[in-house]
Every structure is written in structure tokens, then in C-alpha cells.
């Protein structure tokens, strides 16, 4: 009787996790056990128990590496005007613990996380770690290209393309400098390049006193303007990567 109850309980839990993956990422898992493990914090694992279920730590390790490659490839292809140093800084912002914690929280991971913390609160890093574990589970379950498509859509939905520029607003910096020096400033769209996913890639040139001083590419005009302004700031201020 107890064994039957445990099986029913486990099946309901697997169904709940499968529904969560379907509602959150838009697909039905082929191996729900992977996702169940991804949402199991180490506090929920009984130490020393025979046949104990694994925590999400190994999947977190794998997901971290997969996410790193997805983001690195995306930035490399999308920002061809940036140097290695700039790409490294940008990637660090995208895969930062703070960013992953925020995205994980918005996905309701805390409510799905299997944990035994007693009266202790859920540390935000547990949420980001679980998100990485889910990425690892997705990779094992569906493969790299599938995972890449899903994770890029997730990152874009959270405006990561724009948020990586939050630390330094090059456009505002350039605008303030031009006002102080009484110089004219304009950003002109010089090209719109269609992409396979039916989105446009904008090419923008920034002019100061009628002279082109920077050029940028981006999936939105705002991102392209930031790239163009970054080049202009290097031109005028000699800023390094």
C-alpha cells in the first residue's frame, strides 16, 4: 500500500514538472526524470541513503557550460564589430549570477524547487543554480540546437541585448559631451538587413558635426545606437576595452 502511494506521488510530481516545462518553455519533456533532478536542491537529498536520488549540482555544472557556449556563440555572431575584451565583458553580464537569479525568479523556479531548508529562507543563488541545471537537463533531453533556440528566446524576452549596456550608456555620455562642446549629434539608420527568423538587423552611423565617427549593428535600433556611440566614445576619448 505504501509503495503504491509513493509511486502515485512520484508520478503526480513528474506530471507537475512536465506541465511546468511545457508552460514555461513550450515543449513536452521526453525524460521528465532529468528535470525532476534539475529542480532538486542538495538539501532534499538524504545523505548516506542507499539509492538516494541525486541533487541538481551535476546538471548545474553541465548547464553552466552549455549556457556559456550558447551566449558566446550568439555574441560572436551578433556583435562582429566588438573586440575579444568587449565580448568577454558582455558575456559576463549575460551569465552573471544576478541575471540568472532574476530570470529564474521570473520563471517561478522557487515554487518548483524541491528543498528541505527548515526555517531558512531560499537563497537567490539557489534559483539561478536551478536554472542552469534546467538548461543542463534540456541539453541532455533535446540536444544543443534545440536548447540554443529556447535559451536565446528566453534571454531576448528578458531584454538581455539591451541590459548588457546598462553599466555604461555610451549614447548619453556622447550626447552630454556634444552639448558641452556645442557640437551637433545625430544617429542615422543606413541599413536594415533581414535575417532568417524574420527580424531586422539595424546598421546605424553616428555623426558629430556632420562627420561619421562610429558605426554599430544590432537587432534593435537602441542596441545599434549604443554600439555606434561606443565607437564614437573611443574616437573622442580614447577609451579602451
Q: How far apart are CA 132 and CA 60, in angstroms?
A: 5
Q: What pairs with residue 200 in β-bridges?
A: 194
Active site residues: 64, 132
Q: What pairs with residue 193 in β-bridges?
A: 201
Nearest to 218 by CA among 165, 161, 163: 161
**Burial group, residue 2, by CB count within 10 angstroms (0-12, 13-18, 19+):** exposed
Contact 110, 124 (CB under 8 A): no
Distances (CA, A) of 31 to 64, 154, 204: 20, 21, 45
Angle (deg, nearest 10), helices 124-142 and 57-78: 80
Give kind and range of the element (H or E) at residue 201: strand 200-208
β-strand 211-218 against 200-208: which pairing, if any?
A: antiparallel
Amino acid at each position: 500500500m505504501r509503495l503504491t502511494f509513493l509511486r502515485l506521488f512520484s508520478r503526480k510530481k513528474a506530471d507537475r514538472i512536465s506541465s511546468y516545462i511545457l508552460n514555461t518553455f513550450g515543449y513536452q519533456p521526453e525524460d521528465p526524470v532529468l528535470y525532476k533532478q534539475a529542480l532538486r536542491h542538495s538539501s532534499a537529498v538524504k545523505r548516506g541513503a542507499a539509492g538516494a536520488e541525486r541533487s541538481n549540482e551535476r546538471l548545474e555544472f553541465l548547464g553552466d557550460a552549455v549556457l556559456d557556449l550558447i551566449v558566446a556563440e550568439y555574441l560572436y555572431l551578433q556583435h562582429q564589430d566588438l573586440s575579444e575584451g568587449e565580448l568577454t565583458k558582455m558575456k559576463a553580464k549575460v551569465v552573471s549570477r544576478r541575471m540568472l537569479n532574476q530570470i529564474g525568479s521570473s520563471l517561478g523556479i522557487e515554487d518548483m524547487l524541491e528543498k528541505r531548508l527548515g526555517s531558512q529562507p531560499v537563497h537567490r543563488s539557489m534559483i539561478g543554480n536551478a536554472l542552469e541545471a534546467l538548461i543542463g537537463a534540456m541539453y541532455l533531453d533535446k540536444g544543443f540546437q534545440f536548447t540554443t533556440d529556447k535559451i536565446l528566446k528566453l534571454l531576448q524576452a528578458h531584454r538581455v541585448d539591451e541590459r548588457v549596456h546598462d553599466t555604461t550608456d555610451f549614447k548619453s555620455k556622447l550626447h552630454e559631451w556634444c552639448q558641452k562642446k556645442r557640437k551637433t549629434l545625430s544617429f542615422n539608420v543606413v541599413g536594415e538587413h533581414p535575417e532568417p527568423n524574420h527580424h531586422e538587423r539595424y546598421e546605424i552611423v553616428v555623426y558629430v558635426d556632420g562627420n561619421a565617427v562610429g558605426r554599430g549593428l544590432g537587432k534593435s535600433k537602441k542596441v545599434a545606437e549604443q554600439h555606434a556611440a561606443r565607437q564614437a566614445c573611443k574616437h573622442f576619448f580614447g577609451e579602451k576595452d
